[in-house]
Structure 1
Amino acid sequence: MKKIFLLLGIVTTLFFASCDPSDFLDQPVQGQEELDDFFSTAEKAEAFINGIYRKVNGESWWQVNFQRQINEMATDDNWAGNTAQPRPDITGIAQYNVFAGSRYFNFLWESHYIGITRANISLDRIPGIESIEEDKKTQYIGEARFIRAFFYFDLVRNFGGVPIVTSYEEILDPSINDKVRASVEEVYAVIEQDLEVAINNLPRKSEYAADDLGRATKGAAQALLAKVYLYQEKWAQAQAMAKTVMDSGEYALEADFADLYRIGNAHGIESIFAIEFINNPTFQDIGGQFSITNGSRGDRGWGWGSPTSDLENVFLSEGDNIRLRSTIIKHGEPVFGDPAVTEFDGKPSENKSGRTNRKYYTPVGERPEPYQRGQIPGQYIHIRLADVILFHAEAAYFNGDATSARNSLKLVRDRVGLSTNMSLSGDALRDAIWRERRLEMALEQHRLYDLRRQKINGVPRIALILGPNGSFVKYNTEESTDPFETTNLLESQDSGALFDPDIHMLWPVPPREIQLSRGNITQNPGY
């Protein structure tokens, strides 16, 4: 009889697959003997570790990646976008008319805890495998620790304090449903501890064989730890750790910004941690999704997540054409880097802004057939060097080191031919760093978290941008003359007006988890 594991009310059948589609192990864990078999050889142990990576982006597009896409819609960078299909389950989140029981919150929570469970099993079992060489054993432990930290970081950013489970034995304990939410500080302490172990255990990127690129590295763990410090406002630690990555010699900025999302460049010189997608029609969901889900409805896409004119205006005000053309595609204009499209069909009658995300766009000549969700080659870059350089700039600024902050700001701007005012100081320097993050990282699904954590006089920036008096809402309702956004009113022009900082700084804990925990897991305020 198939054994299932109960984790915080999540009934999960655990499946494990290696990075090679031919090695799929589509087998449920069936008790102690079967679990022992998963770790009976070095090869099987590696396949189990590879199965943890499957949860970084979810094993199906809707498990994790679509929630990330919806998060982007809930900012000033994106509209929900698709005005042809009424989907209150999506637009409700994007416009802060949030239904706590949304399946997308549940998918994110459940998928991440399945990944945590896989990591915990690995950490319990791998030390005792005699057939694995010690250096490999050390590496696998580092990988499991890194990915577990990655999952907990995603959970704490979305939900706040969450239950902490760090042992496979805890999952088997009948009292698992008595687990309560840990504090945010306690979750961050676990994340930091995991990353410190990962840093000591993992190889550098340059030490991996080509076939292993994409696995967690020392640099990835250091970069994620710098980010974790930044989110906690541990400015000195964030500055120092980011500088360690910058000075490691392992990474460099791509000479051409357009190469960042070029197909086949998932693990390029700037990439620190990325998931590469491939096309193989024999298997489902091993390719990318965003070219379809983000794509224009006039270009075989679904039209979700249309970039805003407000975002485009920031590029225009900076004279930043290099990044603009590689970030936003606009109706009626040529697609940069795709000679096959001289007049893009952004279908503004069905796409709120008539704009599409260029970073996840697949040029016509590189599209597989069938061109469908789950079969698109490309990459999802979770951490890259420019991101870390801007961590360093921001942390240095708040750490009182304006010179280092300006120097790092200049590094990023130099790549795209923009000058930097090296006399910037005070609020002007802070604002320049934040504006640079918006330009450099636009549409890579960082914006919501940045706006929640960044503060002006103690007030989160998101509360100044969204809400009934927010600058983004006022721009759209009182100032904008954009010909697409102001004429397609099937998505309300005051999107974001319902934002309430007393509620929406976090997403709701899935009610299903609260119910199955018998109320031991509590809900976030306001939901």
Structure 2
Amino acid sequence: MKKIVLFLSIVGALFVASCDKEDFLDQPLQGRQTLDDFFANGDNAEFFVNALYRKVNGEDWWQVNFQRQINEMASDDNWAGNTEQPRPDITGIAQYNVFAGSTYFNRFWESHYIGITRANLTLERIPNIDIDENKKTQFLGEARFIRAFLYFDLIRNFGGVPLVTTYSEIFDPSINDKVRGTVEEAYELIEEDLMIAINSLPRKSEYAPADLGRVTKGAAQSLLAKAYLYQEKWTEAQVMAKTVMDSGEYGLEPDFADIYRVGNAHGVESIFAIEFINNPSTPRVGAQYAITNGSRGDRGWGWASPTSDLENAFLSEGDNIRLRSTIIKHGEPVYGDPAVTEFDGKPSENKSGRTNRKYYVPTAERPTPYQRGQIPGTYIHIRLADVILFHAEAAYFNGDETSARNSLKLVRDRVGLDTNMSLSGSTLRDAIWKERRLELALEQHRLYDIRRQKINGVPRIASILGPNGSFVKYNTEVSTDPFETTNLKEPQDSGRLFDPNVHMLWPIPPEEIQLSRGNITQNPGY
């Protein structure tokens, strides 16, 4: 329920502490404690910091994670997929017939601002707690990182957003007069938070095994490299990415299939990830993607189905190693699951008959009952290969083609692909961009990448989507894929309505504009 402009279900002044970390402080205390009482206890402070992590992926499937899946559907890597359930609120976004008031935009915005509010409260209260100074510094670094992460996520989706940096600010009547900050102002805050976090956080190797998954110095450095990359600060991005690569804290998994393997949470390649567990006594601590992404022939919902265009990108490189660990196809065996020799992709109810392998849980590793919110797994937000490709791209645009080629080779060597070490110019640039697509496919990077990547100043997405886009032309004029071309309940020309003058950003939730009395303005075209 909304309380005030911008922050909707604000956490309020009272929280409950629990001895179980999974409770995440989501229940009000109903007057039994004040904030002063609550933060007088060092253990409670840690529980509250733990609550910040819950907002990285949202409280439930529909708050944050599903909007990220919809973003995949709005790229050339995925169809909306599910052709059995008419859901114009989902397919409209995927096909760029966008309804500005979509609950998915609204909840994404809401969940992020609740997380930001929690981070602001942490930053205000924890300095006054009598706890070990090293632990205090760590907690404050975690809050800084997560606030930066959430603001970065917001501006990638909506552009400039209102910037609030203190908890007390939400009680000021002038909150109703808040306007959108600029993207540049948001990046200033993100960079400031991350620089402080870098100097406050332990390295991954300094955490006890039970604390793996908490934010690290390397995570802050990696997110800062990414923020630099998005701003086209090529020198800074190259230097920061190389710092992570040379830290000795991370390595590429020798076997690509192990990156998302159940039981390998926070493996050697993982830099920042949210682990999901199976705990029948605690709801909503398990993964969602295995169900929301999963095939309708395998107890899933069938959303965000990989395209044949993506499959062809793998085939054009002879990249079977990553293909088999990225896409499952109807009628074929599932790599790594000997129990499934003919996968049921349900092509009569799914546009492509394909499913995301990265979030698939092999039969022998499925809990009973196998249901959304109770499935083990990991969602990796940043991993080393991503950072290496940050470095390659930044080095290329920084005029350091030798370093760019060397980093490109690091990623390709892992999957046995040769690298042409004479690549240069736009050919090298395109090879790096293609490598990002193949390496990180279906990990929810693609839409952001093709929005930010430019050729002669024009975003790449404008050449991929739209009536003359390469993806639309492939599907309507070239493709003979037996699943996509016969199941036309999802239009074959999906993406045709993309307009670069409108769809480089998503709409600001109209409820926020209304509650702000128009001080928050809408993005153009909505």
Q: Deviations over 1:383-416 (max 9, x none)?
A: 0000000000000000000000000000000000
Partner of 2:75 in structure 1? Answer: 75
Question: Counterpart of 2:134?
Answer: 135
Cα gap change, 1:98/1:303 in structure 2, threshold over 3 Å: closer, same or farther? Answer: same
Give the AA of the match of 1:198: A
Structure 2 counterpart of 1:104: 104
Quick check: 1:12 aligned with 2:10?
A: yes
Letter in structure 1 aligned against 2:53: Y
Q: CA–CA distance in 1 between the matches of 2:113 and 2:104?
A: 14
Partner of 2:229: 230
Do residues 268 (structure 1) and 272 (structure 2) align? no
Distance (whole Å) between structure 1 residues aligned to residue 255 and residue 344 of structure 2: 26
1:458 aligns with 457
Equivalent pairs counted in the alignment come to 524
Q: Are the counterparts in 2 of residues 294 and 304 from structure 1 also a CA contact under 8 Å?
A: yes
Separation in 2, partners of 1:298, 1:491: 18
Give the corresponding residue for 1:343. Answer: 342
- 2:495 equivalent in structure 1: 496
- Which residue of 2 is the match for residue 48 of structure 1? 48
Who is 2:248 aligned against?
249
Letter in 2 for 1:443: L
Structure 2: 5+ residue runs without aligned partners?
none
Query: Does residue 1:279 correspond to 2:278, yes or no?
Result: yes
Deviations 1:6-58 (A, max 9, x none): 35262434667879556554432668952122211110000000011110000
Match of 1:436 in 2: 435
Q: What aligned pairs does 1:139-288 form with structure 2 within 5 A after superposition?
A: 139-288=138-287
Measured in 2, the distance between the counterparts of 1:104 and 1:333 equals: 33
Give the structure 2 partner of residue 86 of structure 1: 86
1:90, 1:4 → 2: CA distance? Answer: 23
Question: CA 1:129–1:9 in 2, change beyond 3 Å: closer, same or farther?
Answer: closer
Asked if 1 retains the 8 angstrom alpha-carbon contact of 2:7 and 2:110, the reply is no
For the 8 Å contact 1:288–1:376, the answer to whether it is kept is yes
1:260 deviates by: 0.3
Report if aligned partners of 1:9, 1:177 keep a CA contact under 8 Å in 2: no
- Counterpart residue type for residue 152 of structure 1: Y
- The CA RMSD measured in Å over matched residues stands at 1.5
Q: 1:293 to 1:16 in 2, by over 3 A?
A: farther
Distance 2:261 2:118 in 1: 32
Q: Conserved in 2, the CA contact under 8 Å of 1:5 and 1:13?
A: no
Q: How far apart in 2 are the matches of 1:308 and 1:32?
A: 54
Q: SS of 1:249's equivalent?
A: coil
Q: What stretches of structure 1 of length at least 5 have no aligned partner?
A: none
1:301 is aligned to 2:300 = yes
Paired amino acid for 1:12: I
Structure 2 CA distance for partners of 1:16 and 1:96, relative to 1, 3 Å: farther
CA separation in 1, counterparts of 2:507 and 2:127?
37
| Cα deviation code 1:289-312 (max 9, x no counterpart) | 010000000111100011000000
Task: Mark the CA change 1:7 to 1:195 in structure 2 (over 3 Å): closer, same or farther.
Answer: farther
1:65-107 deviation line (CA, Å, top 9, x unaligned): 0000000000000000000000000000000000000000000
- Per-residue deviation, 1:266: 1.6
Instruction: Give the percent of matched residue pairs that are identical in Structure 1 and Structure 2.
Output: 81
* Matched-pair contact (CA < 8 Å) for 1:80–1:304: yes
The amino acid across from 1:81 in the alignment is: G
Q: 1:410 to 1:76 in 2, by over 3 A?
A: same
**What is residue 508 of structure 1 aligned with on the other side?**
507
Counterpart contact for 2:289–2:359, Cα < 8 Å? yes
CA–CA separation in structure 2 for the residues paired with 1:49 and 1:18: 13
TM-score (norm 2): 0.98
Q: Is 1:373 matched with 2:396? A: no
Question: Aligned partners of 2:439 and 2:477: how far apart in 1?
Answer: 28
In the alignment, is residue 334 of structure 1 matched against residue 333 of structure 2?
A: yes
Tell me the distance in 2 between the aligned counterparts of 1:320 and 1:460: 27
Counterpart residue type for residue 279 of structure 1 = N
CA contact (8 A) 2:80 2:304 kept: yes
Contact 1:348/1:484, CA 8 A, preserved across alignment: yes
Q: For 2:166 and 2:31, locate their aligned partners in 1 and report how far apart those are by CA, in whole Å.
A: 16
Displacement of 1:162: 0.2
Structure 2 CA distance for aligned equivalents of residues 29 and 518 of structure 1: 32
The answer to whether structure 1 residue 37 and structure 2 residue 40 are counterparts is: no
SS in 1 for 2:121: helix
Q: 1:129 to 1:431 in 2, by over 3 A?
A: same
CA contact (8 A) 1:335 1:341 kept: yes
CA distance in structure 2 between the partners assigned to 1:105 and 1:32 by the alignment: 35
2:54 maps to a residue whose letter is: R
CA distance in 1, matches of 2:19, 2:504: 36
Of stretches 28-37 and 214-223 in structure 1, the one that deviates more from structure 2 is: 28-37
| Distance change >3 Å, CA 13–CA 129, structure 1 → 2 | closer
Q: Normalized against structure 1, the TM-score is what?
A: 0.97
SS in 1 for 2:313: helix
Residue aligned with 1:381, SS: strand
CA separation of 1:18 and 1:224: change in aligned 2, threshold 3 A:
farther
How far apart, in 1, do the equivalents of 2:176 and 2:374 lie? 38
SS of match in other structure, 2:508: coil
Tell me: CA distance 1:482–1:177, structure 2 relative to 1, closer, same or farther (3 Å): same
1:367-406 equivalence runs, <5 A: 367-406=366-405
Q: Assess, with a 3 A threshold, how the Cα gap between structure 1 residues 389 and 354 changes in structure 2: closer, same or farther.
A: same
| Contact 2:5/2:512 (8 A) holds in 1 | no
